[in-house]
Amino acid sequence: MNTADLGLPDPEEREAPSRKGGGEPGAPPGGNWGRVDVPSTALFTDHYELTMLQAALAAGTARRRSVFEVFTRRLPEGRRYGVLAGTGRVLDAVENFRFDEPMLRFLRDRRIVDATTLDWLAGYRFGGDIWGYPEGQVYFPGSPLLRVEGSFAECVLLETVILSILNHDSAIAAAASRMSSAAGDRPLIEMGARRTHELGAVAASRAAYVGGFTSTSDLAAGFRYDIPTVGTAAHAFTLLHDTETDAFRAQVDSLGRGTTLLIDTYDVAEAVRHAVQVAGDGLGAVRIDSGDLLLVAHRVRQQLDDLGATDTRIVVTSDLDEYAIASLAAAPVDAYGVGTQLVTGSGHPTCSMVYKLVARAESADPAAPLVPVAKKALGGKTSLGGRKWAARRLDADGVAEAEVVGTGAVPPGLADRQLLVELVKGGRVVAREPLDAVRDRHAAARANLPLSATQLSRGEPVIPTEYV
Amino acid sequence: MNTADLGLPDPEEREAPSRKGGGEPGAPPGGNWGRVDVPSTALFTDHYELTMLQAALAAGTARRRSVFEVFTRRLPEGRRYGVLAGTGRVLDAVENFRFDEPMLRFLRDRRIVDATTLDWLAGYRFGGDIWGYPEGQVYFPGSPLLRVEGSFAECVLLETVILSILNHDSAIAAAASRMSSAAGDRPLIEMGARRTHELGAVAASRAAYVGGFTSTSDLAAGFRYDIPTVGTAAHAFTLLHDTETDAFRAQVDSLGRGTTLLIDTYDVAEAVRHAVQVAGDGLGAVRIDSGDLLLVAHRVRQQLDDLGATDTRIVVTSDLDEYAIASLAAAPVDAYGVGTQLVTGSGHPTCSMVYKLVARAESADPAAPLVPVAKKALGGKTSLGGRKWAARRLDADGVAEAEVVGTGAVPPGLADRQLLVELVKGGRVVAREPLDAVRDRHAAARANLPLSATQLSRGEPVIPTEYV
């Protein structure tokens, strides 16, 4: 990568950054890749959603007004806060949730639902309302992250795709946020595409950007979400050439001396010498991908400085996680590349968000009052019924001190601290926003938590959830 | 779900199974969803693949004949064997790896590569050869799982997408295989769509089926891969209705008494009574989704039997993994539904497969001899150079006793035990196969391992890898 892409000031202005970040919304840059990956999101749905629909249509209960909420009963063990990501993707998925003819034929041929239900599905468009925490916001156990309201029929169908997106993207964003805390001002490059599903990787890049990453190696993420893309070189490139010097020369000749040379294919000290011989002291950066990074980074920094390459940066990669990043805080490292641990959520590859019916009308009459409902069987999986609001209470210094969740009237002191915003109104998406705004929101929300939020050690949620 | 869908004999033949499984290859059943999720897979590629290409084109080394191999240096800690999955998806991805005009415009606008490289990319089609372990086969550290051969330029570009697919799908298949071992003859239902990326979930269903799962809840996986889909009901369905009995009646009236009723929304014993009252002793199945499954399953079985519902099956779900499944072996359970732990690889959501240059020609001359190459820096990431063959040696009883990997001539005794098969010849896919064949291959390969392979406890790879 050129150092400009690392997000660091470039002493020689060798090259302007080749792209800016986070240009959602608007048409995808390429134009041929829509807001969703497939023509319709309607089959990202569990079989039982459709059979429940069929039974409810037949029983006359499908039209009962219903409120579903997405929340999680707990954070992953030891985590201090959660990060909501994926809301923008949810809005696109809801908008594109239509049963086209091939899908209907599939459902008919496999006898998954009856003819009445197929007819109903053929006309399906979500026409209800969605409120939720704005994307990038932090959350805690019980936070009502998304509230979907409409007929039972139109809402129940969305369960699976909403949870898929939020559970995946929020897991990545939470890991990214911890890593970006640990990295401080140093840029973080998302390099995990090869470690996860090819389209999961694109969503992971997006979530990582929300969580504070600077750039991605994944071209599809650049194409789709306008996230800055960067690259260095692989060992294969060095091995392709007859000597390491040949490889470095080929790279520098073509990409300029602002490029990043990979220095651990053979002997690191030799490689640093070759690198500066070829590129001079204006070499952009070197990458270290193996060994004791702390030790090697110090040695390489010393050697680069001795060779006069004092502006040459050091990028480290190699199975980094937030702990490894933190342990390198005092090392002469200028940027981190993170792969596996980012896209697998650093030990927590999914969240435990659920989509629960919390209230429904007494009858199909549109004017029928809502009744709070909740599962009551023993075994820990109980929920709080009723349509909820949430607010974050601040202490005297303006720091978050509690997540307050309630079902009744909002206490006056919390009215202007409410967290849910309107996202979809009568089936129409009303809250698209650029990804950079989401990223900024996350940084602000995290900064507003007590300082212990960014401790990497295991602990309780950094603020309690209070039910009123 | 109807019990027919559980894969168990149905005493009353209430309903024939509504679909069969694994009908790959051929057009997707729906017809509107191609072999890959997006118009082209070419941007599932790390930035550096393209900049390395640019530098190699300029240096004249891009046309050197090259051999890349996919392998892993180790299995996830404690695992006895790996399961290769995703090869079929890799073949589709390679075939659809084309840079279309919007993608080229993106690369040009962002100045990711120069004009010469863009011209080269515009004409890109992989024209080389790919050999590999057949999908579903088991593997061990060092197994050469895929071998990609052609010019450096055409091979290096495929690294990211190949690794994305194989690392993801193989992680899921490995977990699925352990779960299906633990489940024995009892059907396993994949229910994890809501816990992972929406398209990752479809690939996960496919990999789970390869690993021995019976069916999936994910309609997109049924649509795409013809995997049988099944469903039960959610707590929301019970809560929608005024009473549990109303809900059960609505479900049975619409879906037949062969359906599966969810019995843990309120009180389990009450629910069993309501269920049999509504459906009679011909009720298909009940599902338990919380509590102490061992205890509750015994109680429910006793109660069902006492009520005369001796043919009613019990399906359990609720954060199951292979250990929980094994612990229920003696419980009166007829089927397992598995979600989170399946789609997150049961603790190992990715594999550590790498794509390494192992040999390349001395020059761009098509007749130039190949030179084995390998990274040599310290730090553990060393590789064995050279184009490799692999064979599984059997003991006198025909049981696998070693994975033999070599670079020279294949010893005569192993010639007919070779593992790699031809997948792509001169850019043309030559080895598509139905998913059921892959699933059967996995079952056979696993059955051919020493018995300790299916022990769930942590241990070493069940056979050693020998390099000759």
pLDDT of the residue at B375: 85
H or E, element range at A56: helix A47-59
* Predicted confidence (pLDDT) per residue in A370-398, tens digit: 999 998 855 555 568 999 999 999 999 99
| Residue A45 touches chain B, beta carbons under 8 Å | yes
List domains and CATH numbers for chain A: 3-14+171-347 (3.20.20.70), 47-156+352-467 (3.20.140.10)
Token match 């990669």: residue?
A317
Residue A255 has pLDDT above 50, yes or no: yes
| Residue B91 touches chain A, beta carbons under 8 Å | no
Percent of chain A surpassing pLDDT 70? 91
In contact, A250 and B69? CB cutoff 8 Å: no
Q: What is the ipTM of this complex?
A: 0.94
Residues 318-337, chain A: which have Cβ within 8 Å of B? none
Q: Using CA atoms, how far apart are residues B329 and A42, in angstroms rounded to an integer?
A: 36
pLDDT, averaged across chain A: 92
Q: Using CA atoms, how far apart are residues B382 and B294, in angstroms rounded to an integer?
A: 47
**Do residue A290 and residue B379 have CB atoms under 8 angstroms apart?**
yes
| Residue B344 touches chain A, beta carbons under 8 Å | yes
Q: Which residue of B has its CA nearest to A108?
A: B18
Residue range A300-319: average pLDDT?
Answer: 97
Q: Is A224 helix (H, G, I), strand (E, B) or coil?
A: helix
Query: For every one of its 468 residues, what pLDDT tens digit does chain B have, with 9 covering 90 and above?
Result: 444 445 443 433 333 334 444 444 434 443 445 566 777 999 999 999 999 999 999 999 999 999 999 999 999 999 999 999 999 999 999 999 999 999 999 999 999 999 999 999 999 999 999 999 999 999 999 999 999 999 999 999 999 999 999 999 999 999 999 999 999 999 999 999 999 999 999 999 999 999 999 999 999 999 999 999 999 999 999 999 999 999 999 999 999 999 999 999 999 999 999 999 999 999 999 999 999 999 999 999 999 999 999 999 999 998 999 999 999 999 999 999 999 999 999 999 999 999 999 999 999 999 999 999 998 755 555 568 999 999 999 999 999 999 999 998 999 999 999 999 999 999 999 999 999 999 999 999 999 999 999 999 999 999 999 999
Q: Which two tokens stand for residue A391?
A: 């607010």
pLDDT of the residue at A35: 63
pLDDT of the residue at A160: 98
- pTM of the full predicted structure? 0.95
In contact, A434 and A24? CB cutoff 8 Å: yes
In contact, A172 and A184? CB cutoff 8 Å: no
Q: Is B210 helix (H, G, I), strand (E, B) or coil?
A: helix
Q: Using CA atoms, how far apart are residues B460 and B457, in angstroms rounded to an integer?
A: 10
Interface mutation vs chain A, best among B106, B167, B265, B343, most A CBs within 10 Å: B106
Q: Using CA atoms, how far apart are residues B304 and B314, in angstroms rounded to an integer?
A: 10
**Length of chain B measured in residues:** 468
pLDDT of the residue at A38: 78
Q: Identify the bridge partners of residue B285 per DSSP, sorted by sequence position.
A: B260, B313
**Do residue B233 and residue A51 have CB atoms under 8 angstroms apart?**
yes
Residue A76 has pLDDT above 70, yes or no: yes
The four Cα atoms A462, A351, A96, A204 give a dihedral, to 10 degrees, of: 90
